[in-house]
């Protein structure tokens, strides 16, 4: 049961990361050193 749930969560996590690759941020990326943290 635990392993199945773990696999489901792992797949869900990977799916979320994959979905994030499609979305483009609406704000420009800053390249300032301060923007690094």
Partner 1 sequence: MSSPSMAAGREVPMLGRTIPLSWIMLLALLVHGPLLLMQLPNASYDANFHKFFASHYAQHWFDPWNEKQFTGFSQTTYPPMEQQWLALLSHVLGLDLSYMVVQFIAILLLPIGVFRYARIWVDERAASYAAIGSILLGSLAFLVYDAGQLSTTWAAPLYLLALGYFYDWTRDAKVSALLKALALTWAAASAHHVTLLFASVFFTVPVLITAIMDRNAEGQHASTPGVISRAVVFAVLGVAGIVAVLFPYFVSLYYNPIKQMPIPHQSRDNYFSDAFHFFNYLIIPWGALLLTLPYVFVKGLSERRLRPLFLGFWITMILALGGTTPLPRLLLGRAFYVLTFERFTFWASLMALPIIGLMAVDLIDRFGRKAVFVMGSLAALTTAAAVAWPTYYALRQPPFSVQSVTEFLNRDGHDKFRYLTLGFGANKMDEVSTYANASSVDGDYNSARLLPEMTQYGAGQLTNSKYYGSNGMESLRAMLKHADHYGLKYIFVHDTFYEPLLAFAGWRKAETYEHGDVTLWVKDGVPPARPTEYGQKPTPFQGILWGTLPIGSSILALLLVIALPDDRRRLGEHIEFPSINEEPVLREAR
List of residues contacting partner 1 (CB under 8 A):
1-3, 5-6, 9-10, 13, 16-17, 19-21, 23, 25, 27-37
Least gap, CB of 16 to partner 1 (angstroms): 4
Q: How far apart are CA 11 and CA 24, in angstroms?
A: 22
Least gap, CB of 14 to partner 1 (angstroms): 10
Least gap, CB of 11 to partner 1 (angstroms): 11
């Amino acid at each position: 049961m635990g392993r199945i749930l773990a696999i489901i969560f792992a797949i869900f996590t990977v799916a979320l990361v994959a979905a994030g690759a499609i979305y483009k941020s609406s704000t420009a990326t800053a390249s300032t050193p301060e923007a690094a943290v």
